Structure 1
Amino acid sequence: MKLSIIIPTYNEEEYLPKLLESIKSQDFEDYEIIVADANSTDKTREIAEVYGCKIVDGGLPAEGRNNGAKVARGELLLFLDADVVLTEGYFKEAIREFESENLGVAISQMIPLSTSRRDKILHEFANRFMILTESIKPHGAGCCGILTRKKLHEEVGGFDESLDFGEDTDYIERIGRISKFKVLRKPRLLVSIRRLEKEGLKNLAFKYTKSTLCDFLGKKLSASELNYTFGHSTKKRKRILYSVCGEGMGHAIRSGVILEELVKDYDVLIFASDRAYKYLKEKFENVHEIYGFNTVYENNEVKDLKTFLKAMKTFPRDLKENLSLLYKMARDFKPDVVVSDFEFYASLISNILRIPLISVDNMHVITQCNIEYPKKYRKDKLKAEAVIRSFIIRPKRYIITSYFFPKIKDPEKVVMFPPVLRKEIMNLKPYYGDHIFVYQTSKSNIRLLRTLKKIKRKFIIYGFDKDKTEGNLYFRKFNEDEFFKDLKSAAAVITNGGFTLISEALYLKKPVYSVPVKGQFEQILNAFYLEKLGYGEFHEEVDKKSIERFLEKLPVYRKNLEEYEGGDNIALIRELKRTIEELS
Structure 2
Amino acid sequence: MRILYGVQATGNGHITRARVLLPALQAAGVEVDVLLSGRAPQQLFNMECFGRFEARQGFTFVTSAGRVSWLKTLAQSRPLEFLHDYRQLDLSRYDLVLSDFEPVTAWAARHQGVPSLGVAHQYAFHHPIPGTGFKPWLKPSLKLFAPVDEAVGVHWHHFDAPILPPLIAPPSYPLSEEPDKILVYLPFESMDEVIYWLGAFPRYRFRIYCNIATPQRRGHLELQPFSREGFQRDLCSCAGVISNAGFGLCSEAIQAGKKLLVKPLHSQVEQRSNAVVLEQMALAMTMSELTLESVEAWLAQPSGSPSPWPDVATALAQWIASGRQQPLDALGRELWQQGQIRQFSSCQARLRQPLL
TM range (shorter): 0.7 to 0.9
Distance 1:294 1:370 in 2: 24
Which residue of 1 is the match for residue 19 of structure 2? 256
| Aligned amino acid, residue 143 of structure 2 | R
What residue number does 2:63 align with?
297
Q: Which structure shows the higher helix fraction?
A: 1
Identity %: 26
What's the counterpart of residue 392 of structure 1? Answer: 146
**RMSD over equivalenced CA pairs, Å:** 2.4
d(CA) in 1 for partners of 2:68 and 2:284?
A: 23
8 A contact 2:121–2:153 mirrored in 1: yes
- Other-structure match for 1:246: 9
Deviation at 1:497, TM superposition (A): 0.6
Q: Which runs of 4+ in 1 moved over 6 A?
A: none
TM-score, structure 2 as length reference: 0.82
Structure 1 residue 565: deviation in Å? 4.1
Q: Residue 271 of structure 1 aligns with which residue?
A: 35
Aligned residue type for 2:68: V
- Is 1:317 aligned to residue 81 of structure 2? yes
Structure 2 CA distance for partners of 1:372 and 1:284, relative to 1, 3 Å: closer
- Please say if 1:370 is aligned against 2:136: no
What is the identity, as a one-letter code, of the residue corresponding to 1:287? F
Larger of the two Rg values belongs to structure: 1
Partner secondary structure for residue 465 of structure 1 = coil
Q: 2:195 aligns with which of 444, 449, 452?
A: 449
Separation in structure 1 between the aligned mates of residue 11 and residue 181 of structure 2, nearest angstrom:
25
- AA aligned opposite 2:197: T
Query: Aligned to 2:265, which of 512, 517, 541?
Result: 517
Q: Which amino acid is 2:58 matched to?
A: G
- 1:261-308 superposed Cα distances (whole Å, 9 cap, x missing partner): 222412222211255854586223452111121211111111112112
Q: What is the identity, as a one-letter code, of the residue corresponding to 2:174?
A: K
Q: 1:464 aligns with which of 211, 236, 239?
A: 211
What CA deviation, in whole Å up to 9, does each residue of 1:32-63 have, x standing for no partner?
xxxxxxxxxxxxxxxxxxxxxxxxxxxxxxxx
Q: Would the aligned equivalents of 1:343 and 1:392 in 2 still touch at CA under 8 Å?
A: yes
Name the SS of the counterpart of 1:306 in structure 2. Answer: helix
Mapped to 1, the partners of 2:66 and 2:137 lie a distance apart of 18
Q: Could you tell me how far apart the structure 1 residues matched to 2:163 and 2:46 are?
A: 24
Contact 2:82 2:104 in 1 (8 A): no
Shift of 1:323: 2.5
Deviations 1:352-389 (A, max 9, x none): 2211110100111222x2212274xx5xx556444312
Matched-pair contact (CA < 8 Å) for 1:371–1:407: no
Q: Which amino acid in structure 1 is aligned with residue 144 of structure 2?
A: S
Deviation of 1:489 after TM superposition, in Å, equals 0.9
**Paired residues of 2:91 and 2:114 also in contact (CA < 8 A):** no
The answer (yes or no) to whether the contact 2:171–2:236 under 8 Å persists in 1 is no
Kindly provide the CA deviation profile for residues 325-349 of structure 1, in whole angstroms up to 9, marking residues without a partner as x: x1xx313x2x111110001121111
Shift of 1:317: 2.0
- Given residue 318 of structure 1, which amino acid in structure 2 is its aligned partner? F
Tell me how far apart the structure 2 counterparts of residues 344 and 474 of structure 1 sit (CA, whole Å): 37
CA contact (8 A) 2:30 2:321 kept: no
Q: Distance in 2 between matches of 1:282 and 1:382?
A: 41
AA partner of residue 206 (structure 2): F
In structure 2, the gaps of 5 or more residues are: 328-356
CA distance in 2, matches of 1:276, 1:432: 35
The match for 2:311 among 530, 546, 568 is: 568
1:416 paired residue number: 163
Go from structure 1 to structure 2 and tell me whether the alpha carbon gap of 1:486 and 1:501 turns closer, same or farther (over 3 Å shift): same
Alignment deviations for residues 51-103 of structure 1 (CA, whole Å, 9 cap, x no partner): xxxxxxxxxxxxxxxxxxxxxxxxxxxxxxxxxxxxxxxxxxxxxxxxxxxxx
Matched-pair contact (CA < 8 Å) for 2:38–2:60: no
Other structure's SS at 2:122 match: coil
Give the 3 Å change call, closer, same or farther, for CA 257–315 of structure 1 in structure 2: same
2:154 alignment partner, one of 401, 409, 423: 401
Match of 1:488 in 2: 236
Counterpart code for 2:53: V
Aligned to 2:181: 435
Letter in 2 for 1:575: W
In the alignment, the residues of structure 2 paired with residue 256 and residue 407 of structure 1 have an alpha-carbon distance, to the nearest angstrom, of: 28
Larger relative CO (CA 8 A, sep 6+): 1 or 2?
2
Residues 285 and 490 of structure 1, relative CA distance in 2, 3 Å threshold? closer
1:497-576 aligned at under 5 Å gives the runs 497-555=245-303, 558=304, 561=305, 564-569=307-312, 570-576=314-320
Change (3 A) 1:581 1:260: farther
User: Which of 466, 478, 482 is residue 226 of structure 2 equivalent to?
Assistant: 478
On the 8 A contact 1:417/1:572 being kept in 2, the answer is no
Which residue type is aligned with residue 200 of structure 2? K
8 A contact 2:86–2:108 mirrored in 1: no
CA gap of 1:426–1:254, structure 2 versus 1, over 3 A, is same
CA deviations on 1:20-41 (whole Å, 9 max, x unpaired) are: xxxxxxxxxxxxxxxxxxxxxx
In structure 2, relative to structure 1, the CA distance for the partners of 1:407 and 1:308 (3 Å cut) is farther
* C-alpha separation in 1, matches of 2:308 and 2:6: 29
Deviations 1:539-565 (A, max 9, x none): 11111111111111224xx2xx45x44
The aligned residue for residue 130 of structure 1 is none
Inter-partner Cα distance in structure 1 for 2:207 and 2:302? 18
Q: CA deviation at 1:573?
A: 2.6
